[in-house]
Structure 1
Amino acid sequence: MLSDTLHASAAAAEAFPIGQVRAQFPALGVGDRIYLDGPGGTQMCAPAMTAMLRHLETGTANLGGAFSTSVETGALSDAAHAAIADLLGAAPEDIAFGPNMTTLTLSVSRALAREWREGDEIVVTRLDHDANVAPWLLAAEDRGATVRWLDFDPDSGVLRLDTLPALLGPRTRLVAVGGASNAIGTLNDVAMIAELVKAHSDAILFVDAVQSVPHVATDVAALGCDLLVCSPYKFFGPHQGVLWGRAELLEKIRAYKVRPAADRPPARAFETGTPSFEAQAAVIGTIDYFDRLGAHFAPGAGTRVERLRSAFQAFQAYEVLLSKRLLDGLHAIPSVKLWGPPTTSGRVPTFGLTLANCRPDRAAEALARRDIFAWSGHFYAVEVVARLGLSESGGLLRLGLCHYNTAGEVDRTLNALEDIAAHAL
């Protein structure tokens, strides 16, 4: 049975309609560029652009008015919350939009910390983006809470979950982990982390899913977390942040908000000020893009949730093929070192590299001259790069694949890296 499933997944990946996909991204038709900068922000799909423009062209307004544009904008905002809820396996009333994940996390950290007392404890990891570390460190400093660190194995890039129970106790108030590393691609076992946290404490589990949501189907109930954040601009949509929270927890959190917002649903209390309704329109367009692809892969799917999951299963299978091609090529270049998981297992297609004879920034510049777009440095994953001992040497060169990349782009990148490695000083 397992072999049949694997065979079906491989066949589906090989039949992936890459031409149709790429036609949905206008930026991919500009020049001969290769976009490997997706972990920092993907290109926006055409349905998102169209939806954003349509909203602006037909009239926008703030909420609460009796006139048509206000009523229509309210309906649009409700539809955007419902669309993201379907993507995450959640309820629309438990979704909040914000300008970005960092701002939302700072807001949530401030609200949660209102209930902390001196001597309370929190757990953060060495594997996370600083947006899921610094807000909690600041909150702990303000409240006199103790910070405990969950480490990862530098050789494998995997969190040391065997040490997590010892970090938890009766005064643990929060555990903050990432869905996947934005630096080295490790895909964390959030469901297992949730089990450990609940077995050894009453702590809230906060998940930064910015890097996992673009690559794997996400179901907050299956993950077992309490709060989760992600960023639509990392999955082919507009610059927005998204917060999901468990309903009973949201009802207890006292968010910082203006007084007229007192009667808003708990999640919406984190939507401070007038939001970008045009960006919410683009979110709907992004989910529509996924929905249509899901219908292609699962013509009989009856609900949008089912179609979205089918789309992401297809994305993941295709990305595994691309990742294997890239990994095989990287292993053949002697001066290249890959950091993090060595195979396609337990990772998303984000790859942190170093070249023995070339600083990461120089390698990124050399790739850019070849119209291959990649990032170098720490990418705000300052704890990761420090733990790997790479802070003083310029951090990492990061290559990020997603479902609009092609095998030809992988080959061209490998040829470029081989040439850079051969000629760099």
Structure 2
Amino acid sequence: MVFPVSDIRALFPALSLSDKSQTRVYLDNPAGTQVPASVAKAVTDYMLTNASNGGGHFTTSVNTDAITLKAHEDAALFLGARSAKEVVIGQSMTSLTFHLSRSICRDFQPGDEIVVSRVEHEGNVGPWLEIAKDKGLTICWVAFDRDSWLIEPENLKAVLSDKTKLVCLNYASNMTGSINDIKTLTRIAQDAGAQVFVDAVQLAPHHLVDVQALGCDFLACSAYKFFGPHLGILWGKEETLASLHAYKGRCVTNELPGRFEAGTPQFELLAGLSATVDYFEGLGRGTSASENRRDLIAAAYKASRDYEEPLTNTLIGGLQQIPGISIVGITNPNRVHQRVPTVSIRHDYINPTDIAKSLSDKGIYVWHGHNYAYEPTRFLGIPEDEGVVRIGLAHYNTEAEVNRVVEAIDTAVAK
């Protein structure tokens, strides 16, 4: 079946906008995707017709409570969770991780160890460095393999000890694009007596997340990376969340998940989150006859992945033809299933900011710098003040856009 990219693009108003008579090419997706009109409408409709706080008897408050519950139920469905009680929603993945780190590590003792990988985004590094300083914990680092670009099981085993209490793992890298075998790594860590915290921010836009199949203890992602509003989502096993001390105000409920959701929620964004899950279901209906919502979401991801992977290979193949360009990550087309379509590049002598500026002048949006992938930048010996040029595809991008960015980079470096 041909992927209906033209029909999908028609759902995203931003994709038809232009800069200086040039249609915009959004390849900045790893930092945040565009949203379909249905998501923006859900946010607007809430603010115009139901704006209220929760817990009241009047219509808008009752509706707000219903929207809040549905957002948690939809997020649970999206992640494959057992219950909406397992889903904590907040400002961002980073803020939720900082908040929950206090609870997760509350009973850790000086000398206890937290393992963090060298491929992490800062959102899954900074919180653990800070709590380690506060409590006298030891941070142990596990490297990713420079040949496979993955966290290899043997490397993780080598850093585990009887003092390891928590292992923090990256599902997909926002620099290299590599997808780690989280299920295997989780089993290794848990067999050593540690809990596992997974950053799935970069994976969730491209691959189905199934927290029960993974077996990890916590998993975080960001809705605005998968075509939704600016929200962070943190899943945890219900029994684990229930056992943690919650740092909260006295008036806040003791029930899950509210005990970990500090302050008044962004109700309008919760409405948008449900609309985002609806978007995936709608996409799945194009390839599946199932009426099961989870099956439809899975079908949407399969169709997207089948479309994105050849497009990724086209991008990588084109970049490899440009003299002086090196790619930071997996380039073997037979291993495209082991990466997301986030492709970072460097040139032998042209600064990434100059390439990014040249692309911007042509209406092509990409990011440059370390992109908060501070540890992999340092581990790979890339100058922190330069970083990389990062090109990130989504399922609404086209082959014509890929060809356009390759041609623009070729022209930029030729000058």
State the TM-score bracket (shorter-chain normalisation).
over 0.9
The 5 Å alignment of 1:135-174 reads 135-174=127-166
Aligned with 1:312 (options 301, 324, 345): 301
1:123 aligned partner: 115
Residues 203-245 of structure 1, C-alpha deviations (whole Å, 9 max, x = no match): 1100011000100011001111100111000011100010110
Aligned with 1:337 (options 291, 307, 326): 326
Give unmatched runs, 5+ long, in structure 2. Answer: none
The 5 Å alignment of 1:224-243 reads 224-243=215-234
Conservation of the 8 A alpha-carbon contact between 2:27 and 2:365? yes
2:379 aligned with 1:387 = yes
Distance apart, 1:92 and its partner CA: 1.2
Query: Which runs of 4 or more aligned residues in structure 1 lie more than 3 Å from their structure 2 counterparts after TM superposition?
Result: none
Conservation of the 8 A alpha-carbon contact between 2:370 and 2:384? no
2:40 aligned with 1:40 = no
The 5 Å alignment of 1:211-250 reads 211-250=202-241
Conservation of the 8 A alpha-carbon contact between 1:95 and 1:268? no
1:9 aligned partner: none
Conservation of the 8 A alpha-carbon contact between 1:232 and 1:241? yes
2:17 aligned partner: 30
The residue type equivalent to 2:177 in the other structure is G
2:68 aligned with 1:80 = no
Aligned with 1:360 (options 323, 347, 352): 352
C-alpha separation in 2, matches of 1:232 and 1:388: 29
Moved more, 232-241 or 154-163: 154-163
C-alpha separation in 1, matches of 2:105 and 2:215: 22
Distance apart, 1:131 and its partner CA: 0.8
Pair 1:143–1:60, CA change in 2 (3 A): same
Distance apart, 1:413 and its partner CA: 0.7
SS at 2:406's partner residue? helix
Conservation of the 8 A alpha-carbon contact between 2:109 and 2:135? yes
Distance apart, 1:59 and its partner CA: 2.1
2:9 aligned with 1:19 = no
1:4 aligned partner: none
2:98 aligned with 1:98 = no
Residues 337-363 of structure 1, C-alpha deviations (whole Å, 9 max, x = no match): 001111313100001100113111111
Distance apart, 1:324 and its partner CA: 1.0
Distance apart, 1:392 and its partner CA: 4.9
C-alpha separation in 1, matches of 2:153 and 2:389: 27
C-alpha separation in 2, matches of 1:147 and 1:239: 30
Aligned with 2:258 (options 268, 293, 298): 268
1:283 aligned partner: 273
RMSD of aligned alpha carbons: 1.1
Residues 161-201 of structure 1, C-alpha deviations (whole Å, 9 max, x = no match): 312112112221110011100111011110011111122x2
C-alpha separation in 1, matches of 2:247 and 2:317: 50
C-alpha separation in 2, matches of 1:227 and 1:396: 30
Instruction: Indicate the percent of aligned positions where both proteins have the same amino acid.
Output: 41
Conservation of the 8 A alpha-carbon contact between 1:158 and 1:340? no
Conservation of the 8 A alpha-carbon contact between 2:177 and 2:340? yes
Conservation of the 8 A alpha-carbon contact between 1:357 and 1:421? no
Conservation of the 8 A alpha-carbon contact between 1:377 and 1:394? yes
2:399 aligned partner: 407
Pair 1:394–1:156, CA change in 2 (3 A): farther
Residues 289-340 of structure 1, C-alpha deviations (whole Å, 9 max, x = no match): 1111111110x21211110010011111111011011111111112110011
The residue type equivalent to 1:240 in the other structure is L
Conservation of the 8 A alpha-carbon contact between 1:98 and 1:270? no
SS at 2:220's partner residue? strand
C-alpha separation in 1, matches of 2:189 and 2:349: 43
Distance apart, 1:268 and its partner CA: 2.1
TM-score normalised according to structure 1 size? 0.94
SS at 2:311's partner residue? helix
1:183 aligned partner: 175
Conservation of the 8 A alpha-carbon contact between 1:229 and 1:243? yes
C-alpha separation in 2, matches of 1:113 and 1:391: 33
Conservation of the 8 A alpha-carbon contact between 1:372 and 1:413? yes
C-alpha separation in 1, matches of 2:130 and 2:254: 29
2:200 aligned partner: 209
2:366 aligned with 1:374 = yes
Residues 58-89 of structure 1, C-alpha deviations (whole Å, 9 max, x = no match): 12211111111111110011111111111100
C-alpha separation in 1, matches of 2:384 and 2:396: 34
C-alpha separation in 1, matches of 2:274 and 2:56: 22
2:279 aligned with 1:301 = no
C-alpha separation in 1, matches of 2:176 and 2:155: 21
Pair 1:172–1:45, CA change in 2 (3 A): same
SS at 1:297's partner residue? coil
Aligned length: 407
Conservation of the 8 A alpha-carbon contact between 2:157 and 2:188? yes
Pair 1:62–1:322, CA change in 2 (3 A): same
The residue type equivalent to 1:376 in the other structure is H
C-alpha separation in 1, matches of 2:253 and 2:401: 51
The residue type equivalent to 1:214 in the other structure is P
SS at 2:212's partner residue? helix
C-alpha separation in 1, matches of 2:196 and 2:230: 25
Distance apart, 1:393 and its partner CA: 6.1
Residues 23-53 of structure 1, C-alpha deviations (whole Å, 9 max, x = no match): 1111001010100000011111111011111
TM-score normalised according to structure 2 size? 0.96
1:256 aligned partner: 247
SS at 1:71's partner residue? helix
C-alpha separation in 2, matches of 1:229 and 1:195: 18
SS at 2:251's partner residue? helix
SS at 2:252's partner residue? helix
